[in-house]
């Protein structure tokens, strides 16, 4: 299910009123079948380039993760035989060695009796009905055609500053880490009008949406339905200075539709596995998903709390498999904290992932945020971020606040992206451990907020203790005076005359001016600036130092 709170429902209702529905009627069910083996496959773990992208292979090499038989695609001969039996293959699934098929119930036995077929993953059909709901594509809204606001000296986070500063992401941006070169894959219900909204145009114009995926039969466009994913995406990639800036607004992105509208079917967990495999094949660094699975429309397929042990639900298995391949997963804990269910949902119960709870602006737990622990006693959630009154962009291109762990998880995903960028030699497990240990209640983690709200500055010190301590004890560079006006010089002073890159940065991360400093001392005259706080960032081959100053008109 997508985690939607009351304000969200206003968007959803307006969408239903403004869109017409078409139904693809058929008398077939979807089934998840399993194959017996991967014998006689044309694929080999010694030739991963035949089924994995170069980026995916490089991620494995970097983190010393070997390609396994589980990574091999399903045997094509088995798939061909399934097609010959009259079934339609919707997609194969290599990690589980199976395939999601569509077939009439009366013909299913033909497929199950094939020599290479092991049987059904589930002992019942995984559709609650025989129809799939597809929404017609919305007409492009004229208000979304407005020009995108470009980077300017007046760049600021606007009302999104609280959710940014809670995580220390403003410092992360100042230090030059906005997610560049990091690939984040989002698994959600859809990304309605994301390609038209002004706050996402930077990502589209710079061609950083590298791939999309649909899993619902008959749906070919992730942008034609499902506003939840668009709203979630805004907290990572949104970029409108003065309104909303995402936590990793320069990251590369891949968008997967895995949720199927208002119905709740266990097949959506199969879709989630498909999305995770696809993300891995692209070379994804971070998977962010604001979906969770507990109770389904078909009651016999519903989970119990006892199954929230990280190894029972298919989506939880999928998240763990993704983590084993070096992908950091940030997963919404769930919004059932005040409901009958109360506890986290799958796949937030998975091991080696970051399940994310929700807090308000004062770091207090949001009442709806789901509780831990996992049923086998592990601390859950892992961390927390602002999920109450979070500033988001809507599918209409407007800005509002909304509630849900749906927004806390992508905020953390952006923090993860910047941390990966800043620490390219660290493993995903080192990164996740530092994020947990940087939480504001890391000395006393609990099953309400886990280790608490992490912070980039604390993460940086945990991952780079020697550099951080040295910088505190003996600054290599000094500047003075620290308050200047137009026409006044700032004196730059250091011990050694080496080549240093100098950047003048606004309080919200914009690089205003840069130059190379080669002498031990130099006077710098700032250009005309708006009164306020600014930063110098000094970078050489080994270290980096950031020093603030104030400009006054």
- Give the CATH number of the domain where residue 225 resides: 3.40.50.200
Which of 304, 212, 313, 215 lies closest to 260, judged by CA?
215
Q: Kindly report the backbone phi and psi dihedral angles of residue 143, in degrees, each rounded to the nearest multiple of 5, phi listed first.
A: -70, -15
pLDDT confidence of residue 528: 85
Is residue 143 in some structural domain?
A: no
Phi and psi at 517, nearest 5°, equal -110, 120
Report if pTM > 0.85: no
Three-class secondary structure of residue 144 per DSSP = helix
Are 161 and 207 within one domain? yes
Residues 302 and 320 both lie in one domain: yes
Domain assignment of residue 351, yes or no: yes
Give, as one character, the DSSP assignment of residue 158.
G
Is 255 in contact with 220 (CB distance < 8 Å)?
no
Burial grade of 542 (CB within 10 A; 0-12, 13-18, 19 or more): exposed
In a domain, 150, yes or no: no
Indicate if 51 and 200 belong to the same structural domain: no
Distances (CA, A) of 44 to 3, 38, 262, 324, 421: 40, 10, 41, 20, 32
Residues 53, 175, single domain; the answer is no
| Number of residues that this document lists for the chain | 553
In this structure, the answer to whether residues 165 and 282 fall within a common structural domain is: yes
Domain's final residue, options 463, 492, 519: 463
Catalytic residues: 188, 228, 406
SS3 147: coil
Residues 395 and 313 in one domain: yes
Candidates 168, 423, 432, 178; CA nearest to 287 is 432
End-of-domain residue from the set 442, 463, 484: 463
- 165 with 261, same domain: the answer is yes
Q: Which domain range does residue 506 map to?
A: 474-551
Residue 135 placed within a domain: no
Give domain status of residue 314, yes or no: yes
* Residue 146 is assigned to a structural domain of this protein: no
Are 429 and 483 found together in one domain?
no
Beta strands in 388-455 (DSSP E): 390-393, 399-402
pLDDT digits (tens), the chain, 553 positions: 665 433 333 333 233 333 333 333 445 789 999 999 999 889 999 999 999 999 999 999 999 999 999 999 999 999 999 999 999 999 999 999 999 999 999 999 999 999 999 999 987 788 755 456 554 433 333 232 222 222 322 348 999 999 999 999 999 998 889 999 999 999 999 999 999 999 999 999 999 999 999 999 989 999 999 999 999 999 999 999 999 999 999 999 999 999 987 788 999 999 999 999 999 999 999 999 999 999 998 888 999 999 999 999 999 999 999 999 999 999 999 999 999 999 999 999 999 999 999 999 999 999 999 999 999 999 999 999 999 999 999 999 999 999 999 999 999 999 999 999 999 999 999 999 999 999 999 999 999 999 999 999 999 999 988 654 444 444 578 887 878 888 888 888 887 777 889 989 886 667 888 899 988 888 888 888 888 888 888 888 767 788 888 887 6
Residue 469 lies in a domain: no
Domain match, 242 and 303 both = yes
CA gap 518, 529 in Å, rounded: 25
Number of domains comprising the chain: 3
Same domain, 257 and 302: yes
What per-residue confidence (pLDDT) applies to 9? 33
- Same domain, yes or no, for 309 and 440? yes
User: Are residue 16 and residue 123 in the same domain, yes or no?
Assistant: no
Is residue 138 one of the residues assigned to a domain? no
């Amino acid at each position: 299910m997508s985690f939607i709170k009351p304000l969200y429902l206003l968007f959803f209702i307006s969408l239903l009123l403004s869109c017409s529905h078409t139904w693809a009627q058929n008398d077939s069910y979807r089934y998840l079948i399993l194959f017996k083996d991967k014998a006689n496959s044309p694929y080999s773990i010694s030739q991963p380039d035949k089924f994995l992208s170069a980026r995916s292979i490089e991620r494995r090499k970097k983190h010393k993760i070997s390609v396994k038989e589980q990574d091999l695609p399903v045997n094509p001969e088995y798939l061909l035989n399934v097609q010959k039996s009259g079934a339609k293959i919707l997609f194969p699934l290599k990690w589980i060695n199976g395939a999601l098929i569509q077939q009439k119930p009366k013909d299913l036995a033909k497929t199950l009796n094939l020599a290479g077929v092991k049987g059904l993953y589930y002992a019942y059909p995984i559709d609650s009905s025989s129809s799939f709901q597809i929404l017609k594509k919305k007409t492009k809204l004229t208000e979304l055609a407005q020009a995108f606001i470009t980077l300017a000296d007046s760049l600021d986070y606007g009302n999104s500053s609280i959710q940014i500063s809670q995580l220390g992401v403003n410092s992360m941006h100042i230090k030059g880490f906005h997610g560049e070169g990091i690939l984040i894959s989002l698994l959600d219900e859809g990304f309605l009008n994301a390609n038209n909204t002004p706050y996402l145009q930077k990502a589209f114009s710079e061609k950083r949406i590298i791939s999309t995926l649909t899993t619902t039969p008959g749906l070919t466009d992730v942008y034609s339905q499902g506003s939840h994913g668009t709203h979630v995406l805004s907290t990572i990639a949104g970029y409108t200075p003065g309104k909303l800036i995402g936590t990793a607004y320069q990251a590369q992105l891949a968008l997967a539709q895995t949720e199927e509208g208002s119905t709740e079917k266990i097949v959506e967990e199969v879709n989630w596995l498909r999305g995770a495999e696809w993300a891995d094949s692209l070379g994804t660094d971070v998977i962010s998903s604001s979906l969770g699975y507990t109770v389904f429309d078909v009651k016999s397929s519903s989970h119990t709390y006892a199954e929230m042990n990280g190894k029972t639900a298919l989506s939880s298995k999928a998240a763990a498999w993704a983590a084993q391949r070096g992908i950091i997963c940030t997963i919404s804990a769930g919004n059932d904290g005040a409901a009958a269910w109360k506890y986290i949902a799958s796949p937030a119960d998975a091991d080696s992932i970051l399940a994310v709870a929700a807090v308000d602006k004062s770091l207090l737990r949001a009442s709806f945020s789901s509780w831990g622990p996992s049923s086998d006693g592990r601390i859950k959630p892992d961390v927390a971020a602002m999920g109450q009154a979070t500033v988001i962009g809507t599918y209409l291109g407007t800005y509002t606040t909304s509630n849900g762990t749906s927004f806390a998880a992508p905020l953390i995903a952006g923090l993860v992206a910047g941390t990966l960028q800043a620490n390219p030699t660290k493993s995903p497990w080192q990164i996740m451990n530092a994020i947990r240990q940087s939480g504001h209640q890391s000395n006393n983690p609990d099953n309400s907020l886990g280790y608490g709200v992490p912070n980039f500055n604390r993460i940086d010190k945990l991952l780079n203790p020697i550099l951080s301590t040295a910088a505190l004890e003996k600054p290599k560079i000094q500047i003075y005076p620290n308050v200047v006006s137009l026409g006044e010089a700032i004196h730059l002073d250091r011990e050694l005359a080496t080549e240093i890159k100098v950047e003048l940065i606004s309080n919200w991360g914009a690089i205003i001016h840069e130059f190379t400093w080669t002498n031990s001392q130099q006077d710098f005259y700032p250009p005309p600036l708006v009164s306020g706080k600014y930063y110098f960032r000094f970078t050489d081959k080994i270290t980096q130092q950031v020093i603030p100053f104030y400009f006054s008109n």
